[in-house]
Amino acid sequence: MKATYKKYILNFKQPSGTSRGVLTTKETYFLIIEENGKKGIGECGLFKGLSYDDKLDYSDKLQWVCDHIELGVDALWNELREWPSIQFGVEQAFLSLQSNNPFVLFPSRFTESTKAIPINGLVWMGSPEFMRQQIVDKIANGFNCIKIKIGAIDFKEELNLIAGIRKDFSPEMIEIRVDANGGFNSTDALSKIKQLSGYKLHSIEQPVKQKQYDSMAGLCEKTPIPIALDEELIGVINYSDKENLLQKIRPQYIILKPSLVGGFKGSQEWIKIAEKLNIGWWVTSALESNIGLNAIAQWTFTLENNMPQGLGTGGLFTNNFETNLYVKNGHLWYDDSKKILSEKIINQLEVN
């Protein structure tokens, strides 16, 4: 068995705004394992400025993984506790290598094209006109759950955008989620959440920056809108620390991004603790390419969570990879009639 890794730069079709800034490119890495002439591929979805393992020696650690690939998936995963995106890539690559089809990691009715995954329509930050047009487009394309990134433009403008949706669509018709990406101050977060609550929102993600444990716990206790932790989970590695965090803050939901929290195994740890504490959860991608998104979607389907998931990011890039995934009427589908060749994917990596 041997392994190599490749760096790849994904280019956004248009600049995508969050409260942390505007994104134009996304750096990611791929781990390729080969054994007996067969290849497996996994994506190490590093997110610059956000991933816990965004470190100068990231490529050195990937090379270490390649040099020690014979240790196997379980031993490597345990050695990579502080490298969650590489943990995710290792899990995928071994599943891909062992599968009859390198891109069918979790066979199910989803990969058989008989069932789909409900997903939310993502609305990026920008001018009010740009955000309003995105909302109109998502609703026209059959989404009944809209996720709006807030916290960067004028708050009154954001309220007006949400009010415009509610004027035409009841909560029963359109579910609205908002994501502040930590963009509120702890001093005014509750006031803003109370103003948002008048529009009957499903939830608000990460209203204040992570590691403000007392502030976040107070918000979760007093909030009129369910709060979902997102960035708060990043860098919490040990099982006992995960338990302590959720027991301290007691959020209504947590959001699982496998690239950021240790892949499938790390996500399963969070789910186990959350369910014990009666905390809801859903899964979201973290701007992976179609390789990582495909793996996350297939895994998510096996969890049997019927809430809309955050998996609609496959169409964001100009140079993404060919995929079996497609979006129709607010659902993510898998086209099992389409045969994707791993050699073609690897050749695309080689010429990047």
**Catalytic-residue membership of 257:** yes
Q: Alpha-carbon distance 15 to 31, whole Å?
A: 27
Contact 342, 41 (CB under 8 A): yes
Contact (Cβ atoms closer than 8 angstroms) between residue 73 and residue 40: no
Q: Is 287 left (phi over 0), alpha (psi -120 to 50) or beta?
A: left
Q: How far is CA 113 from the centre of its chain?
A: 22
DSSP per-residue codes, 70-84:
GG-HHHHHHHTTT-H
**Other residues' Cβ atoms within 10 Å of the Cβ of residue 153:** 18
Nearest to 223 by CA among 210, 209, 207, 199: 207
Which residue is listed with tokens 């029963």? 172
Q: How far is CA 289 from CA 9, 36, 89, 325, in A?
A: 10, 27, 12, 12
Active-site residue (options: 149, 192, 209, 242): 149
Q: How far apart are CA 225 and CA 222, in angstroms?
A: 9
Kindly state the tokens that stand for 133.
């047009």
Choosing from 26, 138, 242, 257, the catalytic residue is 257
CA distance 206 to 11: 26
Interstrand relation of 331-334 and 117-118 (parallel, antiparallel or unpaired): antiparallel
For residues 155 and 171, is the Cβ–Cβ distance under 8 A? no
In the annotation, is 115 catalytic? no
Residue count (the chain)? 352
Asked if 271 and 303 touch (Cβ cutoff 8 Å), the reply is yes
The answer to whether 256 and 281 are in contact (CB under 8 A) is: yes
Give me the active site residues, please. Answer: 149, 257
